[in-house]
Amino acid sequence: MTQPLFLIGARGAGKTTVGSALALALGYQFIDTDLFMQHAAQMSVAKMVEREGWLGFRRRENIALHTVSQPSTIIATGGGMILAQENRWFMRQHGTVIYLHAPASVLAQRLEAYPQDAQRPTLTGKPIAEEMFEVLAAREALYREAAHYVMEGTADPQQVIEQICAVLQYERVK
């Protein structure tokens, strides 16, 4: 058993796509914290935010992070997981943190191309492209602070998986 692997990054960075395929490749369990919370609460992220506000949602997110952090688990975190210093510290201390970096323009294109009914509500009320530029600008330093490694999220998912496997192999040899 090995420590958990946390995938962080903005919405649309590929955390769920890469994480689920990586879990299959490594024989790990895969958990997406947003899906975990939705299942546990029996409501969408949008409904959680509507009922409890962003503060209540962030509280749920913190609880979910601690609940799902198990050995041999790949955890795709919500884009805002890194907003809390406690979460950044927890992930760094209890696992390996990989930041899937992608430019705001790519994130916006992905989110516009594959909209989801239960997608998070807008943080700013602005069009998705404008919002992604603002959100990424505000969070970039926090993603980098939390990360042990930064991977290019615009690469083909298989390439990203191979890069992560190489990093994990390096971690084991260190």
Residue 27 in marked binding region: no
Q: Where are the beta strands (DSSP E) in 18-107?
A: 29-32, 73-76, 96-101
What string of H, E and C letters represents the secondary structure of 98-139? EEEECCHHHHHHHHHHCCCCCCCCCCCCCCHHHHHHHHHHHH
Residue 17 in marked binding region: yes
Residue 155 in marked binding region: no
Strands 149-152 and 73-76: unpaired
How many CA within 13 A on the CB side of residue 85?
A: 0
Residue 33 in marked binding region: no
- CA torsion, points 165, 141, 88, 132, in degrees to nearest 10? -80
Residue 125 in marked binding region: no
Report CA Rg, the chain: 15
Residue 117 in marked binding region: no
Residue 110 in marked binding region: no
Let me know how many helices (H) and strands (E) the chain has, helices first. Answer: 7, 5
Strands 96-101 and 29-32: unpaired
Residue 53 in marked binding region: no
Binding residues for Mg(2+): 16, 32
Residues belonging to the binding site for ATP are 12-17, 120
Residue list for the binding site for substrate: 34, 58, 79, 139
Residue list for the binding site: 12-17, 32, 34, 58, 79, 120, 139
